[in-house]
Amino acid sequence: MQVVIDALNWICGLGPMCMMPIIMFVIGICLRVKIGTLLKCCITTGVGFCGVNLVINTFVAQVGPSVQNMVTRFGLHTDIMDVGWPARAAATWAYPLAAVVVFVVLGINILMLVLKATNCVMVDFWSYNHFIFCAAICYYASGSAIIGLICGAICAIVTFKLADWTQPIVEEEFGLPGVSFPTSNSISWAPLAYLLNKVYDHIPGLNKLQADPESIQKKFGVLGEPLMIGTILGAVFGILGGNDVAGVMTVAMYTAATMVLTPKMMQVLMEGLIPFADAVKELLNKKFSGNKFHIGIDAALTIANPSCIAVGILMVPTTIILAMVLPFNRLLPISDIAYQAMWLSAYPVAFSKGNVVRSYISCVIFTIIMLFIATSLAPVHTALAVAGGYDLAGAALVSTEDAGTHLLSYLLSVVAGLFH
């Protein structure tokens, strides 16, 4: 088992720009995709991921100091340290039954495909760590490895079914034909996003408000373009962070660059991913007639959407304020704040057809729940981190915003705790 874990950790450690091409190549060879087409798709996809990561990581690097300044200025003090999603993921892969969970979930996916219980072909092996995380926290909650495995399996089944349900809206709103996002930390919020959007349809004023990027640009002209929106939001964010004039200008320009360059980098990624997905779907549909397969990959691809970027940027200072005023919150949200703010916006944006106002309101509600979950999971998260060899650096409790986004896993852990 340790050999399998080491191999998975090595592949995942390469990052998506190397990991995804390797996975695509192996799957393509198994399905006999033409080697020339396959190589071009794999390398182009890797280049696209590299471009997206460069843009987003640079943005996060520039935002980080402003976030730290906001925490200091707002006087935010908590006793649970946010160690960031990489630490959570590393501790998850160190879970002793991680390899077992991987094979269980892989077997479930294959069985569901054969039985036509799902059309989701989960190729994002890195995101299997979400199912492992579910199994791990349910184990710590129940004291039973079997219950942990059952919960991990349930999480996978529900995730694949939600991927089937959301695939059409993902294809329509994000321009990703034949692609779905079976990552449980994101898709778990899809039903709530759908219900909230239905509620907004019955709120006077809000139900008539057109606030998608196209409508905003049409109404406000040049000020409504992503370039200008990014500049304005970045300047406001820089001011809230207490930056001087040069600092405000720098944050504004990097935010504008993120708004403009991320979608362009995503276009490169899609040039590689879509032909591969089409080739795989064509071969699978020939072999299993009557199915309409879709390729399951990481929901991080949604951050290229202009509405997701805008909502994500707005949620950074909002998350700090919520962390300060919510009486139950004990997490200091720093490490994941920019990433999680954008990922949580995916399905609110999808179901509202890019409406920034509706999506922002939904994300505020999501973030309140997320902070509650992250705080509640701190004891289990700390135990998982210690077992994974993480150095707490003097902190009594650790958690992450990322852990708080695992809504389905948290609910399953609550149920699992009843069997302790």
Beta-sheet strand order (sheet of 294-296): 120-122, 294-296, 179-180
Question: Phi, psi (5° rounding) for residue 122?
Answer: -80, 105
Question: Can you give the pLDDT of all 420 residues of the chain as single tens digits?
Answer: 566 656 666 766 666 677 778 777 877 787 777 888 888 888 887 887 777 767 766 766 776 677 667 667 766 667 777 776 666 776 777 788 887 888 899 899 989 988 889 999 887 777 788 999 999 999 988 999 999 999 999 999 999 999 999 999 988 888 877 889 998 988 999 999 999 999 999 988 887 777 665 655 555 455 556 677 678 777 877 787 778 888 888 888 887 777 677 667 766 776 777 777 777 777 777 777 667 788 888 776 776 677 887 787 788 778 888 888 888 988 877 666 666 666 788 899 999 888 888 999 999 999 999 999 999 998 888 887 777 666 665 567 778 888 899 999 999 999 999 987
Which residues have CB under 8 Å from 339's CB, separation 6+? 56, 60, 85, 402
Distance from C-alpha of 384 to C-alpha of 98, rounded to nearest angstrom: 12
Q: Which of 271, 236, 274, 273 is nearest to 255 (CA)?
A: 236
Distance from C-alpha of 140 to C-alpha of 128, rounded to nearest angstrom: 19
- The pTM of the full predicted model, rounded to 2 decimals, is 0.78
Please tell me what DSSP assigns to residue 305: S
Question: Phi, psi (5° rounding) for residue 295?
Answer: -90, 125
What is the token pair recorded at 249? Answer: 């200008």
